[in-house]
Amino acid sequence: MATGSIVVTETPLIRYVLRRADDALILGHRLSEWCGHAPTMEEDMALANMGLDLIGQARGLYSYAAEVEAAGRSEDDYAYLRDERGYGNVLLVEQPNGDFARTMVRQFFYSAFIDPYWGALTASTDATLSAVAAKAEKESAYHLRHSAEWVIRLGDGTAESHRRARTAVDDLWAFTGELFETDDGERALIADGVAVDPISLRPAWLETVSAILAQATLPLPEGGWMQKGGRGGHHSEHLGHLLSELQYMQRAFPGATW
Amino acid sequence: MTGGGPLDAEARRSAVWNVAGAVVDPEIPVLTIADLGVLRDVRVADGRVEVTITPTYSGCPAMTMIALEVELAVVKAGLGPVSVKTVLSPAWTTDWMSEDGRRKLREYGIAPPAKGAGRRALFDIEKVACPNCGSPDTGEIAAFGSTACKSLWRCNACREPFDYFKCH
């Protein structure tokens, strides 16, 4: 049962579900890279725990995509057998871990967005999306609290931790605009009450981010230019390397199970 | 329906509930899935049993194991054929944990979750009594513990570290 890359027959709903799943999977994978390398034992466990939550959320969404596509695929096929261009995650989540400050700032930017997003999606007219969101929301609340506490601790810490946190905020800022991006297909789902309009969450996101950065004594970046591309499959060079590790087993031994 | 076997559907349903409900969480073996509220439903239709379970956390790695153990337990008790279904909705909450489950957790050395697992319980300052000496003078060491559902705490009175089953 040799299996090469798959090409998904994307309806707007499948594309929408895969984008949410890809965000969670790629960020979850990034966090898993810290396993055994975090600065303290407690953080090692925290990052692995958050990664596990995110991968769990991705699994629920990929399973739903498989159900909707009805092409005899499993959750694993979407994760292991799509090429880089088939992934629709935002560029933010594929950015390398860098130092601990960069990982925490990336997590904070994402969690401050996704926590209210899941909250709003619990009201989706789609029963499965609503169910996934209701579980994910409880988990993202913990992720938001944890990452926000670290952003404050690092920003308002030593000169060195402040410098690193500030560099991370400045470097990652240009990737935050994509969180609020939609396309025609997604806007139709929003109109039907299936999806959530991310633009409606931008004020809440900005409020959370401004408040935490202020507490962290970190200036809110002013640059308005935003880097996009991830939602349409145009990724940074980092995603291909990430996937080569994530997909290695299934690519080298197609159909392997354990 | 009595045609299928020696037990009628209702008796079989209740027998399956007892057998499936006695399966323990592999990560906290002192709790059964009935104590946890992970066992949601048992249905008997056309001679088949369907057991419904729900995960505690989206990524809980114990779910596959629990589903397998439920299947084995039901078949071993001669109550099969059985299938196990996982549902996400309504989302599991620590409020479903039985009183008996809370007591067993405490005796096992894990502080049980506070009741009322909403956002307030999550973001208010939590008061957790030490499961070893009962002192309320405790503090959190790490928000994420040895499993997805626990955080790590320390008692300032008896100086023992302990796990806290987080509100969810």
CATH number for the domain harbouring residue A100: 1.20.1260.10
Residues of chain B with Cβ-Cβ distance to A45 below 8 Å are: 142, 144-146
- A to B CB pairs, distance under 8 Å: 74
pLDDT grade for B62, boundaries at 50, 70 and 90: confident
Q: How far is B57 from chain A (nearest CA, A)?
A: 7
Q: Is A10 helix (H, G, I), strand (E, B) or coil?
A: coil
Give the C-alpha distances (Å, rounded to integers) separating A243 from A2, A231, A247, B134: 19, 16, 6, 49
pLDDT grade for B1, boundaries at 50, 70 and 90: very low
Decide if A1 is inside a domain: no
CB contact under 8 A, A131 and B144: no
CB contact under 8 A, A138 and B55: no
- Residue B15 makes CB contacts below 8 A (sequence gap 6+) with B7, B77, B79
Query: Count of CB atoms within 10 A of residue A167's CB?
Result: 15
Q: Within an 8 Å CB–CB cutoff, is residue B89 touching chain A?
A: yes
For an interface test with B, the pick among A27, A31, A35, A45 (most B C-beta atoms closer than 10 Å) comes out as A45
For the stretch A186-218, pLDDT in tens is 999 999 999 999 999 999 999 999 999 999 999
Q: Within an 8 Å CB–CB cutoff, is residue A191 touching chain B?
A: no
Alpha-carbon gap, residue B111 to B168, rounded angstroms: 14
Alpha-carbon gap, residue A140 to A28, rounded angstroms: 12
Residues of chain B with Cβ-Cβ distance to A42 below 8 Å are: 141-142, 144, 152
Long-range CB contact pairs, A76-82, < 8 A, 24+? A76/A250, A77/A3, A77/A6, A78/A6, A78/A8, A78/A18, A78/A21, A79/A25, A79/A246, A79/A247, A80/A246, A80/A247, A80/A249, A80/A250, A80/A251, A81/A3, A81/A4, A81/A5, A81/A6, A81/A247, A81/A250, A82/A5, A82/A6, A82/A8
Q: What pLDDT was estimated at residue B2?
A: 44
CB contact under 8 A, B58 and A132: yes
Decide if A7 is inside a domain: no
Could you give the angle at the alpha carbon of B47 between the alpha carbons of B41 and B51, nearest 5°? 20
Across residues A156-167, what is the average pLDDT?
Answer: 98
CB contact under 8 A, A60 and B88: yes
Q: Within an 8 Å CB–CB cutoff, is residue B102 touching chain A?
A: no
Q: Which amino acid is at B115?
A: K
Residue A224 clears pLDDT 80, i.e. is over it: yes
Q: How far is B2 from chain A (nearest CA, A)?
A: 35
**Whether the Cβ atoms of residue A142 and residue B145 lie closer than 8 Å to each other:** no
Q: Within an 8 Å CB–CB cutoff, is residue A20 touching chain B?
A: no
Decide if A156 is inside a domain: yes
Decide if A258 is inside a domain: no
H and E: helices and strands count for chain A: 11, 0
Residue B131 tokens, joined: 């499961």
Decide if A37 is inside a domain: yes
Give the C-alpha distances (Å, rounded to integers) separating B3 from B8, B14, B46, B49, B83: 8, 17, 9, 15, 20
How many percent of chain B have pLDDT more than 70? 90
| Residue whose pair of structure tokens reads 């579980």 in the numeric block | A135
Give the C-alpha distances (Å, rounded to integers) separating A228 from A20, A117, A185, A187: 16, 20, 18, 18
Decide if A81 is inside a domain: yes
Across residues B31-54, what is the average pLDDT?
Answer: 94
For the stretch A14-68, pLDDT in tens is 999 999 999 999 999 999 999 999 999 999 999 999 999 999 999 999 999 999 9
CB contact under 8 A, A53 and B142: no
Q: Within an 8 Å CB–CB cutoff, is residue A17 touching chain B?
A: no
- What is the ipTM score, two decimals? 0.84
DSSP code string of A81-144: S--GGG----HHHHS---SHHHHHHHHHHHHHHHHHHHHHHTT-SSHHHHHHHHHHHHHHHHHH
How many percent of chain A have pLDDT more than 70? 99
Is pTM, for the whole model, over 0.95?
Answer: no
Residue B119 clears pLDDT 80, i.e. is over it: no
Residue A155 tokens, joined: 């920003």
Q: Name the DSSP letter for residue A187.
A: H
Q: What pLDDT was estimated at residue B3?
A: 47
Average pLDDT, chain A: 96
Q: Within an 8 Å CB–CB cutoff, is residue A178 touching chain B?
A: no
Q: Within an 8 Å CB–CB cutoff, is residue B37 touching chain A?
A: no
For the stretch A119-139, pLDDT in tens is 999 999 999 999 999 999 999
Q: How far is A120 from chain B (nearest CA, A)?
A: 15
Residues of chain B with Cβ-Cβ distance to A128 below 8 Å are: 88
CB contact under 8 A, B143 and A145: yes
Q: Within an 8 Å CB–CB cutoff, is residue B116 touching chain A?
A: no
A window 54-73, beta carbon within 8 A of B: 54-57, 59-60
- C-alpha radius of gyration, chain A, whole number: 18
CB contact under 8 A, B58 and A45: no
Decide if A240 is inside a domain: yes
Q: What pLDDT was estimated at residue A49?
A: 95
CB contact under 8 A, B119 and A141: yes
| Residue whose pair of structure tokens reads 């088939």 in the numeric block | A86
CATH number of B9-86: 3.30.300.130
**Whether the Cβ atoms of residue A88 and residue A18 lie closer than 8 Å to each other:** yes
**For chain B, domain boundaries:** 9-86, 104-165
Residue B41 clears pLDDT 70, i.e. is over it: yes
pLDDT grade for B149, boundaries at 50, 70 and 90: confident
Q: Which residue of B has its CA nearest to A127?
A: B89
Count of domains forming chain A: 1
Supply the range of the domain harboring residue A129: 12-252
Decide if A162 is inside a domain: yes
- Residue B45 makes CB contacts below 8 A (sequence gap 6+) with none
Q: Residue A178 region, left (φ>0) first, then alpha (ψ -120 to 50), else beta?
A: alpha
Q: Is A35 helix (H, G, I), strand (E, B) or coil?
A: coil
Q: How far is B152 from chain A (nearest CA, A)?
A: 9
CB contact under 8 A, A56 and B57: yes
